[in-house]
Structure 1
Amino acid sequence: MSKQRDIHHMPTLAALMTPFPYHIELDATIEEAQALMSEHGVHHLPVTRDGDLETIISQGDIERATSPGHRLEEQQLYVRDFCARRPYFADIHDPLDRILLAMADTGIGSVLVMREGELAGIVTTTDVLRFCGKYLSEITQPVDDSVA
């Protein structure tokens, strides 16, 4: 008699990414990036140059750029000056555990998810926490802690 066991498959980035994220051009102003983030309720924007994916900018990058004393009032700031220098790219089929551990080990807050060389989505720390919270609520059963 063969022994059968329940085999769980490791989810991939596709399981929790935000597909087709909003993006902004490298030469846009910081104010334009801030307005787009605010309008859509996001904290990260992929950054493109002439339509090709280059990097990413976060709300934290923008807050640092616009902090008091960082610039002269009349100075115009651009996305290109404050976006990530070395963004983290991953393939949509990469196993989730590997990417989450990389995010934790390096302290990165977002991953640009690629499919066949094209931007497919984005995974942020918020996406990870939401996914883990839903997963935990699905695998746990309510405990009856009432006294008989």
Structure 2
Amino acid sequence: MKKILLAAFFVGTFTISYAQSDYYNDYRRSVSEVNWQNVVADLVLSKTQANQLYSLNDRYHDYNSWNKVYVNNPNRWKDDRYAEIERILGREKYEKFKTKYYKGQNPTAVYNRNKNNDKRYKHMDKKSQDYRQDDRPDNGRGHRH
């Protein structure tokens, strides 16, 4: 019985830390996938705004510093980060930022969507599409389209 409980504890701990690291990876992508120098130039930001953005991007330099803040609610990083970006840029420039870099969507929604695109199940999409095509009626013509 002890072995089962110990195994369950290790599996649970690994699962939680794995999920936490996924959130942290999303956070890192939100910093690294945007060319912040281009953002500063495109939005004609002041030196103070640019420095605040760079400081925000350097706030959590590693997983441990990020995890200390978000250990209990790892999903909260998105709301915190983009509220801070909006505060730095102002509402008008933040809307321009979203339009150009996130196609008008809330950046939080972009990362939530990515979280649901689990690559382990991508191969199932093709199989289900093939199944749906094979299931179509032949429209009375004797052959399928």
TM bucket normalised to smaller = 0.3 to 0.5
Which has the larger share of strand? 1
Q: TM-score, normalised by structure 2?
A: 0.34
Q: TM-score, normalised by structure 1?
A: 0.33
Which structure has more relative contact order (CA 8 Å, sep 6+)? It is: 1
Which has the larger share of helix? 2
